[in-house]
Structure 1
Amino acid sequence: MRPAVVMAALMLGACAKPKEDRVMSRQALTAERPQPRGAATVRTDEGIYSAPSVRFSADFLENPPATLRLVTLSAQSEDGSTWRFRMAVDEKFVKSKHATARIIPQNLLGPGLAVVDSQKARGPSVLMEEGILDLTVTGNQAKGEVRTKDGRVRATFEGPLTVECMVPPGWLSKANAQAAPAPVPASPGAGAVRVLDEALATPQCRSVAESFR
């Protein structure tokens, strides 16, 4: 199977949700990943949201070789409303520190595509229909904006960028990691297992982290 096909399939497995799950309750959303106030700020015409950071995730696969890369932000306002985005980027992003993605109204991600959704404290999750998400990273600081198709700015965001890196378990063993975490399942159907390289013991993860310092 070609690497491009595998990557598309894994992106689909990691990010796709059944159509009936696209409208989520506030309880389900916050249970997925509670977001305390933090250093990253989102400003929209509906309010201000905050999160600990913007997150860059690199997920390395071994057979066949491939890397999944996502930039995500999940922010919360004082009243419990949320604003989130997920953006798939390619290998050029690590060097260029800039990416532009087309916003689509469905949870099917691939490089150059993004999903933006918001949720009132007592309302359903709403996906942004169409638009552009623009992101620039300087050092370890991320900054960007979300625009509609006609160019109107819907939201701006800025804050620290944190790096999360997943690798095959064998990579940690080869790197002589002192405390390798227990393996966790990959996305459903991927047929692979990766672990979090929290200490950046592998050269692949160190290289990614050093690119955003």
Structure 2
Amino acid sequence: MTYTLTYFPIRGRAEHARLLLEDNKIPYNSQVVQFGDEWNSFKKKGLESGELPFGQVPVLHDDKLHLAQSGAIARYLARKHNKYGADDVEKALNDMMFDMGIDIQNMYVKFIFDENHKQKKEEFVKDVKGKFDLVEKFMKRQGKPYLASSEPTFADYLMFEVLDVIKRQKDDILKDFSHLESFYNKMKSRPNIVAYRESDRFFEKPVPVEDS
């Protein structure tokens, strides 16, 4: 059965799952729910039916499974499609790097939803560079083309998405992080990701607020 991924018409918390599916040519249907009245009605029905277990999205539907929480979705897809890591050590490291990606994503979300975020951009850039420095040092120690593996895993799709969104704030933010910048460029140039990002399936807007 083909997956259905339910989310809003933004990148948000679902984009890393979309990237994993698109890059590996895994068939899926994208169910897009508009903000406002449509979402309110959809949420009510989903809570009643169990198709929205926690009344939030993203949700991945796989036959009778209705899976909420973006991390659970990522790990489920990774396990099913061999995108978790080559062995237990790699899997543990990819879990670690996925959680680091979530930490950085949460920093961005807190920043961008602040009504005074334009005045706080310099502070945000400084703080997020501190996280980038930790990832850079990890990648240097690992010596792998991706975060912890020789091929992209669920952690790489999240980290790439987080970096891509943050680069909208400062395009050259990775210039002092050679391993991280190389990783970003490698992910961005993957043919299936290029094709996806040029298609009408891709949402340019990362969040439902102004992010410039």
Q: TM-score range with shorter-chain normalisation?
A: under 0.3
Name the structure with the higher helix share: 2
**TM-score scaled by length of structure 2:** 0.25
**TM-score scaled by length of structure 1:** 0.25
* More relative contact order, 1 or 2 (CA 8 Å, 6+ apart): 2
